[in-house]
Amino acid sequence: MGSKWTRLMHGQDLWWILRNHGFRGTIRWLRRSVPYYFWLHFSPAGHRERDFDKIHGVETEGMVPRWQMGDVGPNRRFAVQYVPTKPRKLYQLLDSLHIRHEKFTFIDIGSGKGRALLLASRYPFRRSLGVEFVPKLCEIARRNLEICRCPAEILCMDATQYIFPNDPLVIYLCNPFGLEPLQQLAKNLERSLAIKPRPVYVVYWNALHVQPFAESPYFTQIAFRPDEFAIYKSALDS
């Protein structure tokens, strides 16, 4: 029963979901999770997603709660548990952008064990990199990337200190941290856009703190589903 419940909850703790989504949000979340659970266990495509690690010989599954991340700097209190990205959902989000991927750099903020980078390698992005501040997760991610011969780069650092490159960007966030560091990240991105206006997409999965992008004059919301995801595009391109 324990493993089935873990699969249904995608590795997340029910009390964490209730605390962050509220009662109504949790009900909506469960309505989506139950069909996903049956798809995962009773369809060929679901089996491939469920066996992602076994198929690719990597280690990206498993939840890592905040208290197991060690001493990772002043923003540790804002960290969120590690839960791997679901392949089907990320593919759907990236497909919805309708962009020429070879012109964009893909950046995973809070890249964890590197699963999103492995998934993004399916697309011909100009380059890909992950920003992660937990050294243990960075080591696992680099090992996974090496196993799959994925050329993505891992930067082991606090994402609030990251300086965005001047490329057109697709930035992926899988609820990496709380509101305060997300506000700082958004301000850094705004400064980058002020210096170099360009196409930038923010793909935010498990979008608990949309305010920094929703209230920014630098971004326009192009897709949103409550308690699930939000996608923003830079308002001014060069």
pLDDT, tens digit, 9 for 90 and up, residues 215-237 = 999 999 999 988 789 999 999 76
Nearest to 49 by CA among 92, 109, 97, 96: 92
H or E element, residue 78 = none
Give the model confidence (pLDDT) of 153-191 as tens digits: 999 999 999 999 999 999 999 988 888 999 999 999 999
Q: What is the pLDDT of residues 57-111, one digit of tens each?
A: 999 887 665 555 555 555 555 556 667 888 889 999 999 999 999 999 999 999 9
Residues 134 and 204 in one domain: yes
Residues 197, 98: one domain?
yes
Ranges of beta strands (E only) in 136-218 are: 153-156, 169-174, 200-205
Q: Which structural domain range is residue 30 located in?
A: 2-50
| Bridge partners for 106 per DSSP | 128, 170
Mean pLDDT rounded to a whole number for the chain: 84
What CATH number is given to the structural domain containing 186? 3.40.50.150
Determine, yes or no, domain membership for 126: yes
Amino acid type, 170: V
In a domain, 153, yes or no: yes
Domain count of the fold of the chain: 2
Q: Are residues 101 and 195 in the same domain?
A: yes
